Every structure is written in structure tokens, then in C-alpha cells.
Amino acid sequence: MKYFKLPDLGEGLPEAEIVEWHVQEGDQVEVDQTLVSVETAKAIVEVPSPQTGVIAHLFGVAGDTIHTGEPLVEFAGGEDADSGTVVGQLSQARNTDSQRESFIIGAAPSSREAAQQRTTPAVRSLAQRLGVSLDTLRGSGPEGRVTAGDVERAADMDQSFGAPEPLRGVRKQMAKAMAQSHAEVVPVTLCEDADIDHWPEGTDITMRLVQAVAAACAAVPDLNVWFDGQQLARRTHGKIDLGVAVDTEQGLFVPVLRDIGNRSSDDLRDGLNRLRADVKARSIPPAEMQGATITLSNFGTLAGRYASPIIVPPQVAIVGAGVIRRQPVAAGDAVCVHRVMPLSLTFDHRAATGGEAARFMQALIQALSA
């Protein structure tokens, strides 16, 4: 038997969710034939077959989470020769699902397998009879085991309020990233306004923001860094790779616009358009969603004046731009009505001082007001 395991789909993404199998057990497949479509935190990826052969077993069904290094398919015939990211010979499976579970070496079990391990056969039978998904339960028994009482309480909740819908794909990864930020970052937010009344009609607002962030990073590079909270160390960057928040029906994506300080406005616009098109088509390579040194959220295209944007470690800063509006401003001794852009800057106070953040905001406003 030969076991093909989920490979690294891009810069260490730890897991993927099965979207659709393109083969069935017993199918003859060829090299590079698509076996399965999986959804990572970044995109939907088609996984090809590494060899010609007959599919003996599929590990998982649509909706299951598979970790890098876990088996995806079992090929019929021959001795196992490792084909994935986990090194080492694997024992052959002959009869039971429990034997197959023992083949997962060097990787955490999937959510379904973890739930199976945290319950007894009687509890699993009860959950199946009551229509309760064990994946959604937090066990109250010893060592986190799911008990019959846990299942019965969940069934009562489902009957009263409907079954919970587990987060998947992009939304699941967003929830994890936000929880990590809340646990690690010490956020402080500054708010200020930029007078942009002098901007001509048709100004590309997003590009002005991108270039202003580049100017602010050049003036105050202390916010264009990564911070390691474990080692209490900062990593400075010679260029500015800007994460640009993109809202979609599937959730929040943050593709990375590279080296914004050394590119023309037209080149940046073309690059951002390509990234957004790839995000919409769910075809963006995982590498294009990683490595940002600072982030921009232009939520003002939708609604809102100020915000407290969330920093995603190891970054230490994120800029938010609200809805542009006309409002009274003091111009000398007169009061005039100007177009004003509200700005929010959240920074990690572990890695940057209030003075550095204030100077960054000042440089940002100066660039927008130029």
C-alpha cells in the first residue's frame, strides 16, 4: 500500500479543509490527475496525484480538516513508499479505521479523529442518534472527554435554537488569528483626521493611502517591523510589504502588495487589481497572502469613521481609513467646509512607543495633505 499525505501547500500552512473529492475508491488515476480540492486559510487548492494507481481508500469527507502530513489517499498494491511531508515508513492498514488512524505520524489528528478519541463508543452512538456533531462539543469529563451529559445538553440546545454552524475556511482562520492577536498584542489606537479638500476629482484614494503608508514607514521605520513576543526581539525590514484588507462573501482576505516604497502609482494599482481578482476567483497563491510588514484597512469604502483595527502578529501596526466626509474645519480665522479623511492607527505597545506611533501618524497625514 502507498499513502499519499497532505503536502505543505505553501509556507507552512498547517491544515486544509476538504471541499470536494474528484475521485472515488476503486478509481484508476494518473499522475497529476486532480484528487481533491481543499480550502486553506488563503485559497482553494487542487491537489494532484503523485503517481498512477488505484485508489484503495479516501481519508476524510467534505468538511473534514486534514493537517499537513496526514494521509489523504491510500493506493492499492505494493509496499508503502512515503509520498508526502512525513518522513518514515508507515505500517500497513488491513482492517479497521482505528488502524488507519495510527498511521498519522508527526501531525495532530483532524477534528473528526480528535472527537472520536475524546469519546466512548456509547457516547458516539448517542450523538449519532441525537444528531449531535461531536466536532462542536467541548468535553466536561476527565481530560476533556465528551460525556453523555454533554451530548444531551447539546441536543437540547440544537432543538431550541438550531444546530451550530462550525466556522470553515477563511472565517475559521480569521477567528484563530483574531484570538491570537487578543492573547498576544498590547494594542493602542490613535485617531486623527487628514484634510484632503485639495485632492482633484477622480483621485485614486486607495493609491494615495498606499503611498502615504510608504512615506510614513520611510519617516518612522519603527512601525514597519515584526515583533517576536517570545524572544522579545524586533526584526526590521528593508522594504515595505503592505497587507491590504479585502472584504469578500467568504470572509476577510489580506493579500500583500510588495515593496510599495519603490513602485509607481500605476504599477501599484495594477498589482492591487491583480491581487483582488485572484482573491475573488479564490485562485491567489498562498505566498501572496503572507509576509506583510504592515497592514492597511480602507473600511471607509463601506462605512465607519474611526476604528480599532486588529494587528496580526508578528506585525506591529495597522492603518485604518474611514469614510471621507465634508465637515467644518478651521482655516485661519475662518470656518470652512472641507473633505476630511478620518484615520486610525493601532500599534503594538510592546514593540513601539507612543511617540513613534504619533510621529508615524503625523507623517501619514503630511503625505495625504501634500
pLDDT tens, 282-334?
Answer: 888 878 888 999 999 999 889 999 999 999 999 999 999 999 999 999 888 89
Band of residue 100 on the pLDDT scale cut at 50, 70, 90: very low
pLDDT score at 139: 85
Phi then psi for residue 353, to 5 deg, are -90, 165
Phi then psi for residue 37, to 5 deg, are -105, 130
More confident residue, 214 or 67: 214
Band of residue 101 on the pLDDT scale cut at 50, 70, 90: very low
> Longest C-alpha distance within the chain, in Å?
87
174: cell is 480569521
Band of residue 79 on the pLDDT scale cut at 50, 70, 90: low
DSSP label of 232? T
Whole-number average pLDDT of the chain: 84
pLDDT score at 102: 31
Mean pLDDT of 32-42: 85
pLDDT score at 112: 52
Q: CA dist 119 to 41, 113, 135, 166, Å?
A: 29, 10, 11, 19
Lowest mean pLDDT among 28-37, 284-293, 344-353: 284-293
What strand order describes the sheet that includes 44-48? 44-48, 34-39, 15-21, 65-67
User: Would you say 214 and 265 are in contact if contact means Cβ atoms under 8 Å apart?
Assistant: no
Whether the model clears a pTM of 0.75, i.e. scores above it, the answer is no
User: Would you say 299 and 308 are in contact if contact means Cβ atoms under 8 Å apart?
Assistant: no
Using alpha carbons only, give the angle 312, 187, 316 rounded to the nearest 5 degrees.
Answer: 45
Mean pLDDT of 151-159: 88
Mean pLDDT of 91-115: 38
Phi then psi for residue 29, to 5 deg, are -125, 160
Mean pLDDT of 73-88: 58
Band of residue 197 on the pLDDT scale cut at 50, 70, 90: very high
| Residues β-bridged to residue 48 | 34
Helix, strand, coil percentages for the chain (3-state, nearest 5): 30, 25, 40
Question: What would the DSSP string read from start to end of 286-300?
Answer: GGGGS--SEEEE-GG
Peptide bond into 314 cis (omega under 30): yes
Mean pLDDT of 237-252: 89
More confident residue, 10 or 363: 363
